[in-house]
DNA sequence: CTCAGTGCAAAGGATTTGCATGCCG
DNA sequence: CGGCATGCAAATCCTTTGCACTGAG
């Protein structure tokens, strides 16, 4: 998606509330869209965005509330942030248990569909209302293996 | 698996190191094996096990190191603990985004196998060494819906 | 002018660690 | 007896919150 379109969409979703699309928020969205992987807060702040840590957390919280950013918790360390799936595409994560890096990957539409069916069945059976699923692969990434 | 067998296996794995299979550790294993879902530390301590919080965390860390307990991080709140998969069976989790409760479920062997193949392919392609996968379904559980 | 946004510092909350003591092998 | 286990309290670390100030509309 072109960056301009992205900003337009984000701006629209923010305007629903009384939220402004400030330079800082725009910078966060830019960094996340440029990154090819979910970033931690330190990474976001290192990357270009100059902002107090607390403001960054606050902005991310607003952006999450507006449905444009998603927060991923993989361990006890920093959470990772990425653009919401409807601004990118449905995907999954490879998580390195050694360095914590998160990388994206996708599976075939067919498998994805089979998963949905199976999960919907399980959910229905327990009166559980599914919002979304999460499929992660845990292991050691190439750079940690060579290290 | 009969509880006695379970304890025997745990004892064997602990004896590898210089770890003792104390009453407290045995109690933790008992609680986890009786529970039909992963438990948080407060739940473990409430459930029967009388132990200082720090000792409970320490024991869980030892048990995890010995490969008999697994730790699940779902959000920022308490982590959940369950017996290692090779002491139970491969399964997945339904996670309630409202109350945080975690419930187990399984999918068909066929689907599980397809997943493994697809994931192995993705991993290989990136020089990633997979340890295991994780498939979670997020949503609201029956009791949170009725509440 | 008003109110959202920001920075700084302090507070929170789960988990870990230091240290002295207790107890199993 | 020696060393692992345990309890208590203090320390960590990520994240959140309080508060006063700044700036955009």
Q: Is the CB of A74 under 7 A from strand D?
A: no
pTM score of the predicted model: 0.92
CB A129 within 8 A of CB A65: no
Chain B span 10-49 residues with beta carbon within 7 Å of strand C: 20, 22, 40-41
DSSP B36: S
Distance in angstroms (rounded) separating the CA atoms of residues B147 and B144: 5
Residues with Cβ within 8 Å of A130's Cβ and at least 6 positions away in sequence, in order, are: A119, A120, A123, B137, B138, B139
**DSSP string for B75-90:** SSS--EEEE-GGGS--
Q: Which nucleotide is nearest to A19 (CA to C1')?
A: C4
Helices (H), chain B: 3-15, 23-34, 41-46, 53-65, 109-125, 142-146
Q: What share of chain A is helix, strand, coil (3-state, %, to 5)?
A: 45, 20, 30
A118 and B108 within 8 Å at the Cβ level: the answer is: yes
Calculate the alpha carbon distances from A135 to A72, A116, B138, B145 in Å.
12, 11, 11, 24
Q: Which residue is nearest to nucleotide C3 (CA to C1')?
A: A18
How close B88 comes to chain A (CA, Å)?
Answer: 19
Determine the pLDDT at residue B17.
75
Is the CB atom of residue A40 positioned under 7 angstroms from any atom of strand C?
A: no
Output the pLDDT for position A105.
Answer: 95
Q: Which nucleotide is nearest to A18 (CA to C1')?
A: C4
pLDDT of residue A53: 96
pLDDT tens digits, A99-117:
999 999 999 999 999 999 9
Tally of CA atoms within 13 A in the half-sphere of A141 that contains its CB: 13
Nearest nucleotide over every DNA/RNA strand to the B22 CA, judged by C1': D5
pLDDT in tens, chain A (147 residues): 888 899 999 999 998 778 999 999 999 999 999 999 999 999 999 878 889 999 999 999 999 999 999 999 998 899 999 999 999 999 999 999 989 999 999 999 999 999 999 999 999 999 999 999 999 999 999 999 887
Please indicate whether, in this complex, the C-beta atoms of B131 and A140 are within 8 angstroms of each other: yes
Listed in sequence order, the residues at least 6 apart from B81 whose beta carbon sits closer than 8 Å to its beta carbon are: B32, B38, B39, B40, B41, B44, B60, B69, B70, B71, B72
Q: What's the confidence (pLDDT) of residue B9?
A: 94
Nucleotides of C under 7 A from a protein CB: 3-10, 13-18, 24-25
Helix (H) or strand (E) run with residue A7 in it: helix A3-15
B85: which 2 tokens?
């998969």
Asked if A32 contacts A82 with a C-beta cutoff of 8 angstroms, the reply is: yes
CB distance B111–A131 less than 8 Å? no
pLDDT in tens, chain B (147 residues): 888 899 999 999 998 778 999 999 999 999 999 998 999 999 999 878 889 999 999 999 999 999 999 999 998 899 999 999 999 999 999 999 988 999 999 999 999 999 999 999 999 999 999 999 999 999 999 988 887
CA nearest to B61, candidates B87, B79, B85, B88: B79
């Amino acid at each position: 998606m072109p960056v301009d379109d992205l900003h337009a969409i984000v701006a629209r979703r923010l305007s629903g509330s009384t939220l402004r699309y400030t330079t800082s928020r725009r910078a966060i969205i830019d960094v996340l869209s440029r990154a090819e992987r979910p970033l931690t807060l330190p990474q976001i702040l290192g990357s270009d965005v100059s902002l107090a840590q607390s403001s960054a957390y606050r902005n991310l919280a607003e952006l999450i509330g507006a449905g444009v950013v998603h927060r991923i918790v993989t361990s006890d360390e920093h959470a990772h942030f990425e653009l919401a799936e409807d601004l990118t595409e449905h995907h999954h994560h490879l998580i390195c248990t050694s360095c914590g890096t998160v990388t994206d990957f996708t599976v075939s539409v067919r498998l994805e569909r089979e998963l949905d069916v199976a999960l919907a069945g399980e959910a229905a059976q327990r009166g559980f209302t599914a919002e979304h699923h999460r499929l992660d692969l845990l292991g050691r990434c190439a750079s940690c293996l060579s290290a």
